[in-house]
Amino acid sequence: MPTVEWSDALSLDFAPMDTAHHRLVDLLAQAQTATDDSLSAAWAVLLAHTKAQFAEEDRWMRSTRFAAAANHLLQHRVVLNLLMEGETMARAGQLAPVREMALELASWLIKHTQSMDAALALHLRRHPHATGCGTALDGVNHVGAP
Ligand SMILES: [Fe+2]
Ligand SMILES: [Fe+2]
């Protein structure tokens, strides 16, 4: 089974999210290729990054009153709960279901990035201060300025 890898198809052309997503994809690939001895540690790193990344997106959605936030927040919570279950299983040496979970996470991640995250990136481009990042729209705002 091929491991997940970063590609342009996952890029949202929005650096604050793309950077975190790229890292997430790399960590998931590391978990997918981890040996039995290292799977538990790889999963813990993946879980920590995912937690932080979801929390950041959640914060951006709330601070900008993103209209589609409810479903997006719920998806993050459900996936995070599953990953935490995975961590418990990995620690207990139940590796087969964790490897299965990594596969499912990979296909979920692609769909989530290209749908919910894509919509959020579009929204956040109009709220550059929420992410602390200027965007191309900054330039637009200055057009015609004295
Ligand atoms: Fe995301
Ligand atoms: Fe998301």
133: confidence class by pLDDT, cuts 50, 70, 90: low
Give tens-digit pLDDT for 100-129.
999 999 999 999 999 999 999 999 999 888
Question: How far is ligand 1, taken at its centre, from the CA of residue 55, in Å?
Answer: 10
pTM: 0.88
Residue 137 has pLDDT above 60, yes or no: no
143: confidence class by pLDDT, cuts 50, 70, 90: very low
Is residue 76 within 8 A of residue 54, CB to CB? The reply is: yes
Going along the chain from its start, the domains and CATH numbers come out as 15-141 (1.20.120.50)
Question: How far is ligand 1, taken at its centre, from the CA of residue 85, in Å?
Answer: 20
Q: Which residue has the tokens 């950077």?
A: 19
Question: How far is ligand 2, taken at its centre, from the CA of residue 144, in Å?
Answer: 35
Question: How far is ligand 2, taken at its centre, from the CA of residue 49, in Å?
Answer: 13
Give tens-digit pLDDT for 22-72.
999 999 999 999 999 999 999 999 999 999 999 999 999 999 999 999 999
Residue 99 has pLDDT above 70, yes or no: yes
SS3 string, 2-56, reads CCCCCCHHHCCCCHHHHHHHHHHHHHHHHHHCCCCCCHHHHHHHHHHHHHHHHHH
Residue 144 has pLDDT above 70, yes or no: no
